[in-house]
Amino acid sequence: MNAPMPEPLVEVSDLCREFDVSKPWLNRLIEREPKQFLRAVDNVHFNINKGETLALVGESGSGKSTIAKMLVGLLEPSQGTILFGGQRMRTDTSAEMQVLRKRFQMIFQSPYASLNPRWRVGEVIAEPMTVLAIVKDRREIQKRVDELLVLVGLSAADARKFPHEFSGGQRQRIAIARALSANPEFIVCDEPTSALDVSVQAQILNLMRDLQDELGLTYLFISHDLSVVRHMANRIGVLYLGALVEIADSKTLFSNPVHPYTKMLLDAVPDLAMTGRERKRVEGEIPNPINPPTGCTFHPRCPFANERCKREVPLLKAYGTGVASCHAVEEGRID
Amino acid sequence: MTTPVLSVKDLVVEFPTRHGPLTAISGVSFDLAPGEILGMVGESGAGKSLTGSAIIGLLDPPGRIASGEIWLQGERIDQLRGDDMRVLRGRRVGMVFQDPLTSLNPLYTIAEQLIETIRTHLEISVNEARKRAIGLLDDVGIPAASRRIDDYPHQFSGGMRQRVVIALALAAEPALVIADEPTTALDVSVQAQIIEVLKEQCTQRGASIMLITHDMGVIAETADRVAVMYAGRIAEIGPVKDIIQNAMHPYTSGLMGSIPSLTQEDDRLVQIPGAMPRLAAMPAGCAFHPRCERVFDKCTASRPQLIPMGTHEVSCWLYDDATAVAAKP
Amino acid sequence: MEQLSTFLASDFFYKFRRSPVAVGAFVVALLMVLAAVFAPLLATQNPFDPGSLNLMNGFSIPGEPNQFTGETFVLGTDDQGRDVYSTILYGLRISLFVGFSAVLFAMVLGATLGLIAGYTGGRTDSIIMRIADIQLTFPAILVALLIFGIAKGITPPSYRDEVAIWVLIIAIGLSDWVQFARVVRGATLVERNKEYVQAAKLIGRKPMGIMVKHILPNTLGPVLVIATISLALAIIAEATLSFLGVGAPPTQPSLGTLIRVGQGFLFSGEYWILLYPAATLLALALSVNLLGDWLRDALNPKLK
């Protein structure tokens, strides 16, 4: 194997994000409660290489959407850095950030809320081009909008319509056309198909893969659905309560999961092929993220937890081609 | 043959509009045997939830049952109104919805709600009912049930709340439980637990389940038979394993192929072009024909009825003896 | 043309056509506005041009020839011989002009502050909304009276009649901006978290552009409803102020001024000087209010 050295496009290190979830000042004063913080993202590291799809999977409260927002400069990290093509990501609109903004885009979860209902489809798609001053000539913009609509499987005549005239799947195509209009290298896809029906989901996933091949895009794919993630990603990161518990190649993660939480997630997926795959019973629920468990946050649900797990936060260690953070794996208590 | 718990015959649900009535459910028929779990699967707009609402008389106006019959344990129920319908819903049909908070009253404790439901069904004292209620909560897997029974709904997590709803649905020992997307709002790791509790508890009590969901995985785990719905009609109905492994209707096989697999390598998913037709623009003949790759002239002309094919019933002209020959390449 | 035909085919227009109250209110309100706009053409005289008046015509009884001049006035005349029909037309002009302008002023001010408060949040939001709360504790008429008093104090007497109308507009507008601000702020809080706003932020659109181009158009539905209901209230507020003698001056009388003047003749039997302006005001306020109520219900999907 002589694969070229992967070239990182996005480098995320020590990323943390806290939210102030305190009650209003007066209530705190009366009830004598301190300020409360929710640590949505806790010390997350990863790289995304050029041309690959990295998926982040997790359940509610895992911090996956918060990471997505920080990665595209919609949210300031509380700690840590995000480098995009070697440049530091910020939330302001300075000239250098505006140059950087041409290079990344995002596709959102809801095809209904992500398009302004009062704008014509043509205006929606043209917005990134005009705001980022990529194409200035009006006729040129028109031409590019038409091309993009055809590229995502709609027709040029659709530019004059309003979003409500389209179905959910078609709207998601429009959102993809908008994301492509500024010619980005990197697209963050935040649950792009979770609001769609399966047959439409298949259309959108196929389209996204075709576009990746055609345009050489890099994706960060965020989802709660393991089978979708397996279909789309080269590498997968598993998040639990804001922390990254495992990253591995897609194939390795599914054939040989290391972290007990990853194993549990895999066991929770219904067996559609009815192969009689052996599965363990899933136990427990996700704890309240405002008051997470001590040590390894997964320990109350983990069949392998011991005293050390309750006390000490595990660090990411390399196992094979991937990394995982688990005391039990490190100590060899799990094979 | 035993009487089916639920028997739906040629159900038609319409929504009157100023441009004339829109037919949302068009001639749906199926039976549900005692203790059986029937899955109703389909994409949004297929009419699966509407079928459930029609059975329990909860259609949102102006929607109405235009024709057809619904029988519960040998008694016709589609013409029940007002109090009769409420009694039926409380005692003989249990309901579990997507959002547990729609079934639970936030102003009352779990105990109050459970005891009330139990006592509409059984003439026992409050103390007796409370004991039964604790037993029910134990059965659905609420830890420390005797303590938590006096909590309010908001004090439970999403998964626990759905367990409470299941206990409430079973409290009056109904013959039928209608579960409409019971796991859709829950996390993956909680979904599996809820499905298991629902199945286990209903089976123990001999209640039949009508499980309405868009998730084929949930159906595969739970149901005995499955009805695949498309555009207000049943496209195919039969035993789950047969439908999943040997789908006959082109829509069913397309649907199965479009689900990404956890175990198989697939570069491209099967995709069905287009989208479910709107009610106002229902195609003539087979509603699926504009999206079907095996369409032939008969499909555009007239609507296929369910044709028995081995263990399945399929509504597709490909399986009609008289026309099948013409369609074969 | 294309937009007109889409509108005529829309559910909104269908619902409108099916509601007799809405159609009736709309027709009455439209007639009033047309009458006000074309007042100079419809009136028999300009009642405020002293040259066109004949004192001999004073106190003509509606529909009967005047005992001195033999002229007939449909709605009678007042003590100065002004045709009541014509004064109503001109009074309607002032009333509607003040009403529309005051609502427009309140709408622009309220929507701007509401948009800024909702989008910026934090301290700016707190300051704007606390001011709004404080203002709400004073009755609207009191606020208007206060502003009116201040304006009167700072303008030289010779200008007073000229600026009176504008002071009236500002006074009513300032007492009415709060509800626009609240509604727009509420809608902004909902819209600013929607993903299309995130998409605009992502490409570095400035807050001003996001507020004006993205959020504002999506808050206009409820604003329109409030504006219609406010119009009825503003017309009544104007009439009240004018009735109290702090509104439109006798040289430019509104319906309220006419009622104030007319009430002096009520007990001497010349009922028409009061009755007809009052009836006009009632019909105007009622029709606009009914239209506003209907619009609120028609645009609220929850009440379907």
Amino acid letter at A278?
E
CB B140 within 8 A of CB B201: yes
pLDDT for res A274: 61
CB C185 within 8 A of CB C121: no
What kind and span of H or E run contains B179? strand B176-180
Chain C contact set for A175 (CB, 8 A): 199
Do the chains contact at A127 and C200, CB–CB below 8 Å? yes
Is it the case that residue A111 has pLDDT exceeding 80? yes
Is it the case that residue B280 has pLDDT exceeding 90? no
pLDDT for res B323: 59
Q: How far is A72 from chain C (nearest CA, A)?
A: 7
The Cα–Cα gap between C93 and C97 comes to 6
pLDDT for res B324: 54
Q: How far is B298 from chain A (nearest CA, A)?
A: 25
Q: Which of A75-84, A153-162, B92-101 has the lowest average pLDDT?
A: B92-101
Do the chains contact at C199 and A178, CB–CB below 8 Å? yes
Query: pLDDT tens across A181-202, in order?
Result: 999 999 999 999 998 998 899 9
**How many of the other CB atoms lie within 10 Å of CB of C76?**
24
Percentage of chain C exceeding pLDDT 90: 37
Q: Region B168-173: what's the mean pLDDT?
A: 90
Which residue in A73, A118, A124 is closest to C218 by CB distance? A118
CB B8 within 8 A of CB B51: yes
Please give the residue that has the higher pLDDT: either C9 or B222: B222
Eight-state DSSP code of residue A163: G
> What is the number of alpha carbons within 13 Å of residue C209 lying toward its C-beta?
14
* Packed helices C84-120 and C272-299: angle between N→C axes, nearest 10 degrees: 30
Chain A contact set for B269 (CB, 8 A): 202, 205-206, 231
Provide the chain A residues 156-215 that lie in CB contact (below 8 A) with chain B. 167-170, 197-203, 205-206, 209
Q: Over the range A139-177, which residues count as b (16 or more CB within 10 Å of their CB) and which as e? A: eebeebbbebbebbbbeeebbeeebeebbbbbbbbbbbb
Place of tokens 């701007």: C112
The Cα–Cα gap between A304 and A174 comes to 47
**Can you give chain C as a three-state secondary structure string?**
CHHHHHHHHCHHHHHHHHCHHHHHHHHHHHHHHHHHHCHHHHCCCCCCCHHHCCHHHCCCCCCCECCCCCCECCCCECCCCCEHHHHHHHHHHHHHHHHHHHHHHHHHHHHHHHHHHHHHCHHHHHHHHHHHHHHHCCCHHHHHHHHHHHHHHHCCHHHHHHHHHHHHHHHHHHCCHHHHHHHHHHHHHHHCCCHHHHHHHHCCCCHHHHHHHHHHHHHHHHHHHHHHHHHHHHHHHHHHHHHCCCCCCCCCCCHHHHHHHHHCCHHHCCCHHHHHHHHHHHHHHHHHHHHHHHHHHHHCHHHC
Provide the chain A residues 259-298 that lie in CB contact (below 8 A) with chain B. 264-275, 277, 281-286
Which residue in A74, A113, A127 is closest to C194 by CB distance? A113
C-alpha distances (whole Å) from B177 to each of B55, B170, B239, C208 are 11, 8, 19, 54
Chain B contact set for A300 (CB, 8 A): none
Q: Residue B285 burial (CB < 10 Å; 0-12/13-18/19+)? A: middle
Residue B141, chain A, CB below 8 Å: the answer is: no
Which residue in A167, A206, A269 is closest to B275 by CB distance? A167
3-state secondary structure of B311: coil
In chain A the first and final C-alpha atoms are separated, in Å, by: 28
The Cα–Cα gap between B115 and A181 comes to 60
Which residues lie closer than 8 Å to C25 by C-beta, 6 or more apart?
C286, C287, C288, C290, C291, C294
Do the chains contact at A199 and B190, CB–CB below 8 Å? no
List the single residue in A with minimal CA-CA distance to B159.
A285
Nearest to A261 by CA among A320, A301, A293: A301
Chain A contact set for B254 (CB, 8 A): 199
Q: Is A9-103+185-256 a domain of CATH 3.40.50.300?
A: yes
CB B15 within 8 A of CB B63: yes
pLDDT for res B62: 85
Show the tokens assigned to C132: 């709004």
Most confident listed range (A113-122, A132-141, B85-94, C217-226): A113-122
Residue A155, chain B, CB below 8 Å: the answer is: no
Q: How far is A14 from chain B (nearest CA, A)?
A: 27
* Packed helices C140-154 and C160-174: angle between N→C axes, nearest 10 degrees: 150
Q: Confidence class of residue C304 from pLDDT cuts 50, 70 and 90?
A: very low
What's the CA angle centered on C77, arms C76 and C78, to 5 degrees? 135
Eight-state DSSP code of residue A96: H
Amino acid letter at A248?
A
List the single residue in A with minimal CA-CA distance to C193.
A113
List the single residue in B with minimal CA-CA distance to A264.
B189
Q: Which residues of C touch A (CB under 8 A)?
A: 194-196, 198-206, 209, 214, 217-218
Residue A249, chain B, CB below 8 Å: the answer is: no
Do the chains contact at A127 and C206, CB–CB below 8 Å? no
Do the chains contact at B276 and A274, CB–CB below 8 Å? no
Which residue in A201, A271, A283 is closest to B220 by CB distance? A271
Q: Could you tell me the domains of chain C?
A: 77-182+220-303 (1.10.3720.10)
Chain A contact set for C198 (CB, 8 A): 69, 74, 106, 108, 114
Which residue in C196, C198, C206 is closest to A74 by CB distance? C198
pLDDT for res A64: 93
pLDDT for res C116: 96
List of long-range contacts for C245-248, beta carbons under 8 Å, 24+ apart: C246/C145, C246/C148, C246/C149, C246/C152, C247/C148, C247/C164, C247/C168, C248/C94, C248/C98, C248/C164, C248/C165, C248/C168
Query: pLDDT tens across A228-252, in order?
Result: 999 999 999 999 999 999 999 999 9
Query: pLDDT tens across A258-311, in order?
Result: 999 999 998 888 877 666 666 777 778 888 888 889 999 999 999 898 999 999
Q: How far is C202 from chain A (nearest CA, A)?
A: 6
Q: Region A145-156: what's the mean pLDDT?
A: 95
Query: pLDDT tens across B75-104, in order?
Result: 898 888 878 888 888 788 999 988 888 888
Q: Confidence class of residue B329 from pLDDT cuts 50, 70 and 90?
A: very low
List the single residue in C with minimal CA-CA distance to A98.
C204
Give ipTM to 2 decimals. Answer: 0.89
What's the mean per-residue pLDDT of chain A? Answer: 90
Which residue in A108, A127, A178 is closest to C198 by CB distance? A108
Percentage of chain A exceeding pLDDT 90: 68
- Indicate the domain borders of chain A: 9-103+185-256
pLDDT for res B271: 86
Show the tokens assigned to C84: 């009541």
Q: Region C196-223: what's the mean pLDDT?
A: 93
pLDDT for res A273: 67
Which residue in A101, A110, A115 is closest to C204 by CB distance? A101
Which residue in C195, C201, C203 is closest to A182 by CB distance? C203
pLDDT for res B185: 85
Sign of the dihedral defined by the CA atoms of residues B67, B70, B76, B80, in that order: negative
The Cα–Cα gap between A52 and A132 comes to 25
Q: How far is C32 from chain A (nearest CA, A)?
A: 32
Q: Region C118-137: what's the mean pLDDT?
A: 91
pLDDT for res C286: 93
Query: pLDDT tens across B16-39, in order?
Result: 988 888 999 999 999 999 999 999
Q: How far is A56 from chain B (nearest CA, A)?
A: 15
Mutation for testing the A interface, residue in C2, C195, C212, C219 having most A CBs under 10 Å? C195
CB B36 within 8 A of CB B208: yes
The Cα–Cα gap between B232 and B288 comes to 11
Percentage of chain B exceeding pLDDT 90: 51
Chain C contact set for A97 (CB, 8 A): 204
Neighbours of chain C (3+ CB pairs under 8 A): A
The Cα–Cα gap between B227 and A174 comes to 33
Q: How far is CA B3 from the centre of its chain?
A: 20
Residue A58, chain B, CB below 8 Å: the answer is: no
The Cα–Cα gap between C22 and C27 comes to 9
Query: pLDDT tens across C72-122, in order?
Result: 777 777 777 778 888 888 889 989 999 999 999 999 999 999 999 999 988
Nearest to A19 by CA among A3, A42, A51: A42
